Amino acid sequence: MNWIKNLFIKNTISEKAEEMSKKFLIVGLGNIGAEYVNTRHNIGFKIVDYVASKQGVSFETAKLGAVAEFTIKGRKLILLKPNTYMNLSGKAVHYWMQKENIAKENILVITDDLNLAFGTIRIKGKGTDGGHNGLKNIQLILNTSEYPRFRFGISDEFKKGQQVDYVLGEWNETEKEKLPERFEVAKQIVESFALAGLNETMNSFNGK
């Protein structure tokens, strides 16, 4: 009878592994509060908001964040906007990874990047925090820097000593005109990550 028990255990493990491979956590980083809604630092929130709107789903308040879910071609995507403020984002990411049993390879963290020109896209499977407090905390809580991230360039067009005001400032008129097209590309990236995988998504979208 042991072989039957072992077969059952093996099948259960296989089913769980298959389930994990079809679930994805898409994390948009940002700060909560009306004063931050349209700031450069909140591009992560804006992108997942756009994805949710195009999928016809709404965010609901949940533990450590706002969450929206949808399914595309058999893949379940969970959109997360942590409500912990940027520098404690790792707490929310870790909680939802554990709750939904999602592997770190299947999370995609979306954040702003001062080191990239406005609208430039850079997707990587691992890397440093680059001085970004949100990524820094995620790395600390997850105890690894090996998780996929999607950086959206906000450029560094500010004078010395004005970085905080720039990052927490709103987009200029030229940037506002270009954002809708960038949001659509970002939506395609999120979908590609779940359907085609990280490597294919990097090859198709990096630098665009």
Q: Which of 41, 81, 151, 187 is catalytic?
A: 41
Which contiguous run of DSSP H or E holds residue 76? strand 75-82
Active site (annotated) includes residue 132? no
162 to each of 157, 158, 204, 208, how far by Cα in Å? 10, 6, 35, 28
79 beta partners: 26, 68
Task: For residue 48, give the nearest of 89, 19, 18, 17 by alpha carbon.
Answer: 89
Measured from the Cβ of residue 35, the count of other Cβ atoms closer than 10 Å reads 9
* Per-residue buried b or exposed e for 110-143, using 16+ beta carbons within 10 Å of the residue's own CB: bbbbbebebbbbbbeeeeebeebbbbbbbbebbe
Task: Report helix, strand or coil for 43.
Answer: helix
Distance, in Å, from the CA atom of 165 to the CA atom of 25, rounded to the nearest integer, reads 30
Task: For residue 89, give the nearest of 116, 70, 115, 107 by alpha carbon.
Answer: 107
Q: Which residues are known catalytic residues? A: 41
